[in-house]
A and B are shown apart, each in its own frame.
Chain A
Amino acid sequence: MELLAVFLPLFAFLIAGLFGKKIGDRMSQCVTCSALVVAAFASILLFFDVVGGHGYTTVLSPWISSGEFSAFWALRIDQLSVVMICVVNIISACVHIYSIGYMSHDPCKARFMAYLSFFTFVMLMLVTADNLLQLFFGWEGVGLASYLLIGFWNNRDSANSAAIKAFVVNRVGDLGLVLGIMLLFVIFGSIEFDIIFNNAQLHSQTMFTFFGYDLHALTVVCLLLFVGAVGKSAQLGLHTWLPDAMEGPTPVSALIHAATMVTAGVFLVARFSPVFEYAPIALMVVTVFGALTAFMAATIAMTQFDIKRVIAYSTMSQLGYMFFALGVSAYGAAMFHLVTHAFFKSLLFLGAGSVIHAMSDEQDMRKMGGIYKKIPVTYALMLIGSLALAGIFPFAGYFSKDIILEAVWADHTWFGDFAFLIGIIVAFMTAFYSWRLLLMTFHGEPRMSKDVMSRVRESSSVILAPLFILAAGAVFVGFVFYNMFVGHHSIWHETIIVLQENDTITAAHNAPFWIKRLPLLMGGFGIVTAYVFYFWIPSLPAKFSSAFKWIYMLFFNKWFFDEIYNRLIVRGVYCLGNIFWRSGDQNIIDRFGPDGSVKVSRKFAGMLSRFQSGYIYQYAFMMIVAVIGIVSWVIFRVGQGF
């Protein structure tokens, strides 16, 4: 079963990728979609198989063995991975089907489907890894898929830059991950999960020396792994690639940059809960980073006008929620939010795709408006997604966001309180920007040209059908799975380990009533505020932005991260490259090395060659001089001898 769930996407990729031209677009779409649908069903069956019982590992073949270091290709099927497999396969199947409709005018359909299937496969390799190296294989593999799909429309310059940026920024994060893997190997002598997790406690006091400092080994390991997570999950500092990644086709944004790949970081930390539990400082860092990201991304989302970018920043912000949940050891809550978020965020993205389609590829919300009557189904679906995102009862987001906020409250540490405060504020902002998006896109006066408006049509059923599945998820996943994920008898068993004193989820269930209701209240308040700003008094946003110009500019320009990075790092690197090349290689090494010695020897040879002038009298003269010289020297020496 697990082989079916994992390798069907690979099979689909190979068919569509290698033979896409021969079998035609229609056939490639059929093959990939049916493979993914079967894989999705297989993973659901797998879920029910594993969830009650025990996990197991299927070893496929050895990969690397060098000395004591060894890594295997294996599928680790346990509660944690099976949840991820389900999410990945279900969302991916929906996105595959949706793409048939969405990409119907694109000339490279087979290639697109192949990339999507490839992504699904490597993502599954990531989540089913039972050692760090296979995880890293998946980790880089999804990076590659993301690169290929962001740059799918490769004649666009912006898409190409975005693709490279995504890959390179992710590489910076991966660097942390690689170093983390190596450190784990040095500490544990293995990179197998089982060995690491079983021995984590033994090493909870291990120290190592670096530059004369004694460092707590597991804390450093966790921080390094977290660097990887920061890159992949677009957290503060390494987040700049995610908004740019919206250059890719919308199904890609839904699948990779909302539902699955960007949550890999969350998965990684959850998977390493047995290690993170012994690194309280690392957990604190995770919490603080998560909270800051959630806040920053939400502030930016409130000011953007590109519909996809708003959703992208919202994704970042929600990922921040997941991370601060992880930071207070509420791993189950983070995974819960991951699942609900996957459904409602991909719903929102695909819905936005449907809107963009209807608006003849316009993404600027300032040019939309007044279309809710023309595309009522899309509108209703987007509404469901937004309700879930804003955390309104009884939609999925309500349950998961609630438990996260209760858990951080129950943590009772300074960073827990900090995250709680931010979480509450961001809950308000989330609702605000969601409704800002809805109101600007669907309500008000039409701001698009008549020509385009007359062509606004509801999307075809192949686009809408997957949306219904996702919408069902956005409505029901919350209360159906609440007990499984964060209830008293959650499904995680030994896959997520929480120390007794860190058990915030249990504590969260005893939170006071006002804590439990506060997020909902803030959400409602956010919606009302959005109505005030964008529906009842439409002149208010402009007044507001001019009154708080500095803050507005800061938010609107994304806190100037890109500018700072460009100035400092990108330019610096190019500058250094030029200096090294022109001054280092050409002016120093070559000048004093080979070219210099050539010059010297040429000069010397020139001097020598002057002796060979060809005139007999010169030679004769030289001979005489030499003979005189030698004779006098001999006489001199002989004379000395006596």
Chain B
Amino acid sequence: MFEFSLLSAMTFLPLAGVVIILFIRGEQEYVARNSRYVALFTSVFTFAFGLFMFLQFDSASAEFQFVEKSNWFKPFGISYHMGVDGISLFFILLSVFLTPICILASWESIKVRVKEYMIAFLVLETFMIGTFCALDTVLFYTFFEGVLIPMFLIIGIWGGQRRVYASYKFFLYTLLGSVLMLLALLTLYAQVGSTDIIVLMDNPVARDLQMWLWLAFFASFAVKMPMWPVHTWLPDAHVEAPTAGSVILAGVLLKMGGYGFLRFSLPMFPEASLFFAPMVYWLSIIAIIYTSLIALVQEDMKKLIAYSSVAHMGFVTLGIFTATTQGVEGGIFQMLSHGLISAALFLCVGVLYDRLHTREILRYGGLVKNMPKYATVFMIFVLGSVGLPGTSGFIGEFLSLLGAFQVDMLIAALASIGVVLGAAYMLILYRRVIFGVQVNKDAAGMPDLNNREYGILLSIIVLVLWLGLFPNVVLDRVSPSVDKLLTEYHSKLEVAAGFGNVIVGVEGEQVK
């Protein structure tokens, strides 16, 4: 370990950028340009911190690393406690990787209130990193809820025509969940007497209380994921958000739900998790099939991808609650992979939207002629989304299905129907946009990707293929923490069941 408090530095670095941007004065043009550059440099610098952390991370350890702890609010025992383990590591990396991409993606498309926009994004970045680093529930809650504010503004100010409706819907849904979570956190504090996440993990509460608390947390995380039937905010939010907003929303914000399940639900409420697992399975199955079917009939590109996100996140919840190594690791991997692929898909839609200002599929067609580079790039992400082996999408889907299969074959079989439907709606989308006859003259005249767009998308392609071909980069670092999580989970269950007369859903149970 070293003295330098890396996590705090990384978390609050974007705020330093915000301060600088605040001091920029002068001509509108000048302010816009400078705030873009400051935001970009700040976020790239933060990304460098992230990479440094990745390199310093001890992949053999299951413990929290880079831990910082100091008293914050002593009378209540609230501390400023930060740390990273294998589970949160890659979410932080995802956040710091996607922020500069978002800023680059908004380089030209955002023309009004550029300064405020950049500030919103940098603040958002701080909150995102903080959420994944926080090891104290109060700290976590602050960051977790803080995310809502810049996101609400990004949708509400720089969004599309129905942006106000969408941002309120987004806010209402998520707030409702968070309020319940806050109550649960207060109850936990009253019961255990600590707000420290590690302490809470080690001191499970009574079974009945677990049930209620689990449900309260579930309300919050399920909205964030989003799971069926609280997913309807997502299509609206995505459709109205500016491109970069969608990217962050799909790329990072949705993952907070999954992260929450792993950080709170499984370790703190093992009995409740086991009890409610079948419900989660069925909700996931419904999400996968139901939203895939809906995606099939969409006419709006962003809506289609938004619905597909819900389906993909269904695999995550399915995997996590199987509480098997493959399931949980698959869930984490699926979140990362979806973070990259769906972010890229939204960027791809953004490229078209910047040119023609419509998201309607019918207005495009035959783009392969005038945008061959774009067609290739888009194809790769479509294939990633379809879960083709060799892309990162496959690893996550396969592992989470494998986890599910060990617990219940029927569930896995039903979930895999989503894979077929996924292929159908993505390929049909691709065909309608890229192939066929050019009906719209404006669409036929659109220029191909410029270097900025090409560079952004290429960097994501490299990651998607790299993770698809060599996923152990992630899995090796994730597995110690996941193993620890699951060992503790199962041992807590055994303790709760009075040593041994409980059937735990581990591998091979089905086979006699």
Binding site for B on A (CB under 8 A): 61-69, 133, 136-137, 140-141, 144, 147, 151, 154-155, 157, 160, 163-164, 167-168, 171-172, 174-175, 178-179, 182-183, 185-187, 189, 206-211, 217, 573-574, 576-578, 580-581, 584-585, 589-590, 593-594, 597-598
What's the nearest-Cβ distance from chain B to residue A638, in Å?
36
The answer, yes or no, to whether B435 is at the interface (CB within 8 Å) is: yes
Whether the pair B395, A151 counts as a contact (CB closer than 8 A) is no
Query: Which of A63, A68, A69, A178 counts the most chain B CB atoms within 10 A?
Result: A69
Binding site for A on B (CB under 8 A): 168-169, 172-173, 229-230, 232-233, 235, 290, 293-298, 324-326, 329-330, 366, 368, 383, 388-390, 394-395, 398-399, 401-402, 405-406, 409-410, 412-413, 416-417, 419-421, 423-424, 427-428, 431, 434-437, 469-472, 475-476, 479, 483, 507-508, 510-512
- 24 A-B pairs in the complex with CB atoms less than 8 angstroms apart: A62-B472, A66-B325, A67-B326, A67-B329, A69-B325, A137-B390, A140-B389, A147-B427, A151-B435, A154-B434, A154-B435, A155-B437, A164-B424, A167-B423, A168-B420, A171-B423, A182-B402, A182-B406, A183-B405, A207-B512, A584-B290, A585-B294, A589-B229, A594-B232
Give the contacting residue for B511; candidates A69, A154, A187, A593; CB below 8 A. Answer: A187
Bound complex: CA of A144 vs CA of B420, how far in Å?
A: 14
Given the interface pairs A67-B329, A168-B423, A179-B412, the reply to whether A577 lies near B293 with Cβ below 8 Å is yes
Given the interface pairs A67-B325, A172-B420, A211-B410, the reply to whether A577 lies near B390 with Cβ below 8 Å is no
List, in ascending order, chain A residues with CB within 8 A of B508's CB: 186, 189
What's the nearest-Cβ distance from chain A to residue B296, in Å?
4
Whether the pair A217, B511 counts as a contact (CB closer than 8 A) is yes
Whether the pair B436, A155 counts as a contact (CB closer than 8 A) is yes
Given the interface pairs A164-B428, A168-B424, the reply to whether A144 lies near B232 with Cβ below 8 Å is no
Bound complex: CA of A164 vs CA of B421, how far in Å?
A: 12
Bound complex: CA of A137 vs CA of B383, how far in Å?
A: 13
Whether the pair B329, A66 counts as a contact (CB closer than 8 A) is yes
Whether the pair B424, A597 counts as a contact (CB closer than 8 A) is no
Give the contacting residue for B475; candidates A64, A141, A144, A208; CB below 8 A. Answer: A64
Give the contacting residue for B420; candidates A133, A171, A185; CB below 8 A. Answer: A171
What's the nearest-Cβ distance from chain A to residue B430, in Å?
9
Give the contacting residue for A69; candidates B169, B402, B437; CB below 8 A. Answer: B402
Query: Which of A67, A69, A578 counts the most chain B CB atoms within 10 A?
Result: A67
Q: A66-B325, A66-B475, A144-B388 are in contact. List 13 more A-B contacts (CB 8 A).
A: A62-B472, A64-B399, A69-B399, A140-B394, A147-B427, A157-B437, A160-B431, A168-B423, A182-B402, A186-B511, A573-B421, A576-B293, A577-B295
Whether the pair B405, A182 counts as a contact (CB closer than 8 A) is yes
Whether the pair A598, B427 counts as a contact (CB closer than 8 A) is no
The 8 closest A-B pairs by CB, nearest first: A67-B325, A577-B293, A137-B389, A577-B297, A182-B405, A154-B435, A581-B294, A577-B296
Whether the pair A141, B173 counts as a contact (CB closer than 8 A) is no
Bound complex: CA of A164 vs CA of B431, how far in Å?
A: 8
Residue of A nearest to B170 (CB): A594
Whether the pair B405, A186 counts as a contact (CB closer than 8 A) is yes
Whether the pair A63, B172 counts as a contact (CB closer than 8 A) is no
Whether the pair B326, A574 counts as a contact (CB closer than 8 A) is no
Bound complex: CA of A200 vs CA of B510, how far in Å?
A: 18
Whether the pair A66, B427 counts as a contact (CB closer than 8 A) is no
Query: Which of B297, B416, B437 counts the most chain A CB atoms within 10 A?
Result: B297
Give the contacting residue for B471; candidates A64, A67, A209, A574; CB below 8 A. Answer: A64
Residue of B nearest to A169 (CB): B420
List, in ascending order, chain A residues with CB within 8 A of B437's CB: 155, 157
Bound complex: CA of A186 vs CA of B428, how far in Å?
A: 35
Query: Which of B290, B293, B412, B475 counts the most chain A CB atoms within 10 A?
Result: B293
Bound complex: CA of A547 vs CA of B469, how far in Å?
A: 59
Whether the pair B399, A66 counts as a contact (CB closer than 8 A) is yes
Residue of A nearest to B428 (CB): A164
Whether the pair B390, A175 counts as a contact (CB closer than 8 A) is no
Whether the pair A168, B401 counts as a contact (CB closer than 8 A) is no
List, in ascending order, chain A residues with CB within 8 A of B330's CB: 66
What's the nearest-Cβ distance from chain B to residue A214, in Å?
9
Bound complex: CA of A97 vs CA of B169, how far in Å?
A: 60
What's the nearest-Cβ distance from chain A to residue B248, in Å?
22
What's the nearest-Cβ distance from chain B to residue A501, in Å?
27
List, in ascending order, chain A residues with CB within 8 A of B394's CB: 140
What's the nearest-Cβ distance from chain A to residue B310, in Å?
10
Bound complex: CA of A137 vs CA of B424, how far in Å?
A: 19
List, in ascending order, chain A residues with CB within 8 A of B475's CB: 64-66
What's the nearest-Cβ distance from chain A to residue B291, in Å?
8
List, in ascending order, chain B residues with CB within 8 A of A65's CB: 472, 475-476, 479
Bound complex: CA of A168 vs CA of B424, how far in Å?
A: 6
Residue of A nearest to B379 (CB): A148
Give the contacting residue for B512; candidates A136, A160, A208; CB below 8 A. Answer: A208
List, in ascending order, chain A residues with CB within 8 A of B427's CB: 147, 163-164, 167-168
Residue of B nearest to A157 (CB): B436
List, in ascending order, chain B residues with CB within 8 A of A140's CB: 388-390, 394
Bound complex: CA of A64 vs CA of B229, how far in Å?
A: 33
List, in ascending order, chain B residues with CB within 8 A of A207's CB: 512
Whether the pair B413, A179 counts as a contact (CB closer than 8 A) is yes
Whether the pair A594, B294 counts as a contact (CB closer than 8 A) is no
Whether the pair B402, A185 counts as a contact (CB closer than 8 A) is yes
List, in ascending order, chain B residues with CB within 8 A of A67's CB: 324-326, 329, 479, 483
Residue of A nearest to B432 (CB): A160
Residue of B nearest to A597 (CB): B172
List, in ascending order, chain A residues with CB within 8 A of B169's CB: 594
Residue of B nearest to A148 (CB): B379
Bound complex: CA of A593 vs CA of B417, how far in Å?
A: 28
Give the contacting residue for A66; candidates B229, B232, B424, B479; CB below 8 A. Answer: B479
Whether the pair A206, B405 counts as a contact (CB closer than 8 A) is no
Bound complex: CA of A144 vs CA of B382, how far in Å?
A: 12
Whether the pair B402, A154 counts as a contact (CB closer than 8 A) is no
List, in ascending order, chain B residues with CB within 8 A of A144's CB: 383, 388
Bound complex: CA of A63 vs CA of B389, how far in Å?
A: 11
Whether the pair B172, A594 counts as a contact (CB closer than 8 A) is yes
What's the nearest-Cβ distance from chain A to residue B417, in Å?
7
List, in ascending order, chain A residues with CB within 8 A of B294's CB: 577, 580-581, 584-585
Whether the pair A593, B232 counts as a contact (CB closer than 8 A) is yes
Given the interface pairs A66-B330, A66-B475, the reply to whether A208 lies near B402 with Cβ below 8 Å is no
Residue of A nearest to B375 (CB): A154
List, in ascending order, chain A residues with CB within 8 A of B476's CB: 65
List, in ascending order, chain B residues with CB within 8 A of A178's CB: 398, 401, 416, 419
Give the contacting residue for A136; candidates B232, B389, B405, B479; CB below 8 A. Answer: B389
Given the interface pairs A66-B399, A67-B325, A175-B416, the reply to whether A210 lies near B409 with Cβ below 8 Å is yes
List, in ascending order, chain A residues with CB within 8 A of B428's CB: 164
List, in ascending order, chain B residues with CB within 8 A of A185's CB: 402
Bound complex: CA of A373 vs CA of B437, how far in Å?
A: 40
What's the nearest-Cβ distance from chain A to residue B362, in Å?
15
